[in-house]
Amino acid sequence: MADMGGDQVEEAVAGCTAALRTAVDRNWAEVRAGRLDWNCHETAVHVADDLVAYAANLAGRAQDAYVPFELRLDDGTDNSGLLHVIETTGALLAATVRTTPREVRAFHPYPFRSADRVGFAAMGIAEVLLHTHDMATGLGLPYRPAEQLAESVLGWLFPHVQPGPAAWPTLLWATGRGELPGRAPVTDWRWYNNLVLPAERLDLVGIRPAAARDLRLGGDGGFDWIDGGPYEGTRDAAGFLLKAYEGGVHRPEFGVFALVRREDGRAIGGLGFHSAPDGEGRVEIGYDLTEAARGHGYATEALRTLADWALARDDVRSLFATVDTANTPSQAVVTRAGFTKVSEDEAGLAFELRAG
């Protein structure tokens, strides 16, 4: 799995300061930062401000808004001092990411109003890489970050962007900073933190492409699984997610979710969509649990939660689930979740739940 944590934050910041330190004698306030409306001084301050804001929100467990403060430089701070501020705020974010439990989420507005430690690390790295590019472009400096850093940012924050032949040009294209052969220019863009849906005893945690790749290759996807997990169905679903991502057709909110037990933070199964809704608003759902978690109502609870979320959307009219004829426990799960049997053949039983 492409790593995303404190070490990567520090690597990104070190690359930024190394590139910009060669031009500390220039007047950054007089040089526009690439395609931005800001000058290089304003852009550097913005980078530091984002790094410390992300650290503060994560450390302070902010839930509804950014922690109410703003970075301000002392009068007379020169470019060397400004780079020291970037190094320091980067170190604060890196330390916060390392010491924050994996289940903690804090406020970030886009798109689902929260992010976990991996999300905050990825956002900080994205700010550093992209704005260092902007400043280096304006100042005429060479800059290209490690390909692994760019690949990590894409895999954790840009699940809707089809990977390109190289990660760094793809990231520049995806953020309106460059061209990519065969793809239209990007004029408006956002990154995606993963969706988390709370149930009564569980959190349904959206699996990102980077985690899906790790699961498909036999890893844990960054989750702490109970004995026997993840089940093979979850690994297969991760493979389908990864295939959709690599094909450029993945819609992040219609992916796969790990079922994480809130009492101990351990993953017990997977649940998700086979694809995005079709033209008639129909979408199929699948799920599994590790054997040790079965018999406690977790699958029904998770299925009801996902169904309620999906059917509240304008683009979903009905949900389908197909169950093997011999799998009576799974049939009971979909029935308890409100699904009705609509057909039966050699492939199994088909159940449907329609929007009210």
Residue showing tokens 């989420």: 105
Burial class (CB in 10 A: 0-12, 13-18, 19+), 215: buried
For residue 1, the model assigns a pLDDT of 53
Q: Is 132 in the same domain as 205?
A: no
Residue 160 lies in a domain: yes
What amino acid occupies position 189? W
Q: Is 169 in the same domain as 207?
A: no
For residue 229, the model assigns a pLDDT of 81
Which of 118, 139, 174 marks a domain boundary?
174
Q: Is 225 in the same domain as 344?
A: yes
Residue 188 lies in a domain: no
Which of 119, 139, 174 marks a domain boundary?
174
Q: Is 162 in the same domain as 234?
A: no
Reading the block at residue 193, the tokens are 């933190």
Q: Is 97 in the same domain as 53?
A: yes
Residues 6 or more apart whose Cβ sits within 8 Å of residue 210: 1, 2, 4, 152, 155, 156
Tell me the average pLDDT across 244-266.
95
Phi, psi angles (nearest 5°) of residue 197: -110, 120
Residue 1 lies in a domain: no
Across the beta sheet with 340-345, the strand order is: 196-198, 202-206, 256-261, 266-273, 282-289, 318-323, 348-354, 340-345
Q: What is the domain-level CATH number for residue 134?
A: 1.20.120.450
Confidence of residue 125 (pLDDT cuts 50, 70, 90): very high
Q: Is 66 in the same domain as 210?
A: no
Residue 80 lies in a domain: yes
The end-to-end CA distance of the chain, in Å, is: 41
Rg value, the chain, Cα: 22
- Please say whether the beta carbons of 36 and 43 come within 8 A: yes
What's the DSSP call for residue 167? H
* Distance between CA atoms of residues 253 and 196, nearest Å: 10
Q: Is 230 in the same domain as 333?
A: yes
Q: Is 210 in the same domain as 308?
A: yes
Domain count, the chain: 2
Confidence of residue 2 (pLDDT cuts 50, 70, 90): low
Confidence of residue 228 (pLDDT cuts 50, 70, 90): confident
Query: pTM of the entire structure?
Result: 0.95
Residues linked to residue 344 through DSSP beta bridges, in sequence order: 349
Residues 6 or more apart whose Cβ sits within 8 Å of residue 176: 35, 185, 186, 187, 188, 189
Q: What is the domain-level CATH number for residue 269?
A: 3.40.630.30
Q: Is 110 in the same domain as 14?
A: yes
Checking if the pLDDT of 81 tops 80, the result is: yes
Residue 265 lies in a domain: yes
> In a 3-state reduction of DSSP, which class is residue 173?
helix
Q: Is 142 in the same domain as 268?
A: no
| Owning domain of residue 262 | 196-354
Residue 270 lies in a domain: yes
Residue 186 lies in a domain: no
For residue 90, the model assigns a pLDDT of 98
Residue 105 lies in a domain: yes
H helices present in the chain, as ranges? 6-20, 40-59, 79-99, 117-139, 147-157, 167-174, 209-216, 232-246, 298-311, 328-336
Tell me the average pLDDT across 328-332.
94
Q: Is 103 in the same domain as 168?
A: yes
Reading the block at residue 341, the tokens are 């049997």
Q: Is 170 in the same domain as 201?
A: no
Tens digits of residue pLDDT in 30-79: 999 999 999 999 999 999 999 999 999 999 999 999 999 999 999 999 99
